[in-house]
Chain A
């Protein structure tokens, strides 16, 4: 395929024990022999670990937090474009996606390509609408109730059984085994992420995920299913293995056909002991384990780079089942001068400016 000499910017450089997907996306792109371009890391905090992963990130810029509004982001991206020549942006964090989707036309006019879902598609898979979407698409979803008032929790047993998950609209999930625990979880989730909360029936089983890219017309550019083989106390997959499960691909295809999803997403599924599949969530971006797709021979981030540049990418169907990932936490040494530069100027350019 054609070599890519573009400047690609990727967000989500936080890489703690609940890592953002930025570095996994960047590593995937870097691994592709056709990528000859540069990587710009877009971070929100001066201590986002990916900023200091200099072997992966050429230039770094801080972005305004989503709470500062779209206009602040637009101005910053225009500046970054002028400084570093960014031609593609891959946002990877849930909270920033609505702003990037709203700016898609503007970015295109400035010569920056993206490959994102529309706001309508984004809303369709929102946690408070997932059950309805599943019903329409023919995908089984655990019983789900949207709760705005904690008083409603005292009657929730009429609609679903305990235990259940109490989830924030965008982030966070707590397991509750009783009404008392559900009320506590409700207040904790609302205090942290705002209301309403989503109460979802707990399904015991194997945790399975799919990283996928939709073509925006109801089709699938590619997908790699994964089974979590090691789960942290935060419920995050620390190790996993690529699997060839046709049922997972069928669920993913049904979602794509129904939503006409454009861009990357993660499909989270539980397979119960009876062999039934339950859709838990659709995350509207690449997951933190995306590097497995590149490792298994289906480089989905690189496909998104090509699509964002306007290239045609044929559907990808092959990957090596049995390819594993095992995450590792390493201490990287950072120079005080680099930290100082990011903290005082909000940027760090290895090239010294636009190339």
Chain B
């Protein structure tokens, strides 16, 4: 399945409730996770996602990139993103 289509179909609410209509699974995420998902839905590149997180959440340093990768790993593990997805 095309990654873009999967991301496009992903429903992300204002409260951080996430519904994957392809699998029927639902999740809850925090404000940061929600921001990352919305950025992915918009098709932002990694640098842009990192920049957005820096500006919106005042996070700096190596932690930010590591946390981003960990969140992406969680999305892949739960089938929200395809296993081959990288950012």
Which chain A residues have a beta carbon within 8 Å of chain B's beta carbons? 206, 226-227, 229, 240-246, 321-322
B24 within 8 A of A: yes
Could you give, for residues 14-57 of chain B, a 1 whenever the CB lies within 8 Å of some chain A CB and a 0 otherwise? 00000101111000000000000000000000000000000000
A242 to B19, CA, bound (A): 11
A141 to B11, CA, bound (A): 32
Q: Verify A243–B21 contact, CB threshold 8 A.
A: yes
* CB proximity of A282 to chain B, nearest CB, Å: 21
A229 to B21, CA, bound (A): 13
Which chain B residues have a beta carbon within 8 Å of chain A's beta carbons? 1, 9, 11, 19, 21-24
Q: Verify A246–B1 contact, CB threshold 8 A.
A: yes
24 A-B Cβ contacts within 8 A? A206-B23, A226-B24, A227-B23, A227-B24, A229-B24, A240-B24, A241-B24, A242-B24, A243-B21, A243-B22, A243-B23, A243-B24, A244-B9, A244-B21, A244-B22, A245-B22, A245-B23, A246-B1, A246-B22, A321-B9, A321-B21, A322-B11, A322-B19, A322-B21
A241 to B11, CA, bound (A): 14
**Main SS of the interface on chain B?**
loop
* CB proximity of A62 to chain B, nearest CB, Å: 39
Contacts of A227 in B (CB 8 A): 23-24
A228 to B9, CA, bound (A): 20
* CB proximity of B85 to chain A, nearest CB, Å: 14
A245 to B24, CA, bound (A): 9
A226 to B21, CA, bound (A): 10
Report the nearest B residue to A208, measured CB to CB.
Answer: B24
A322 to B24, CA, bound (A): 7
Report the nearest B residue to A275, measured CB to CB.
Answer: B79
Which 5 pairs across A and B sit closest by C-beta, in order of nearness?
A227-B24, A321-B21, A243-B24, A241-B24, A244-B21
Contacts of B9 in A (CB 8 A): 244, 321
Report the nearest B residue to A271, measured CB to CB.
Answer: B23
Contacts of B21 in A (CB 8 A): 243-244, 321-322
* CB proximity of A321 to chain B, nearest CB, Å: 4
A206 to B19, CA, bound (A): 17
Contacts of A206 in B (CB 8 A): 23
Report the nearest B residue to A246, measured CB to CB.
Answer: B1
Report the nearest A residue to B25, measured CB to CB.
Answer: A227
Contacts of A321 in B (CB 8 A): 9, 21
Report the nearest B residue to A227, measured CB to CB.
Answer: B24
Contacts of A243 in B (CB 8 A): 21-24
A244 to B19, CA, bound (A): 11
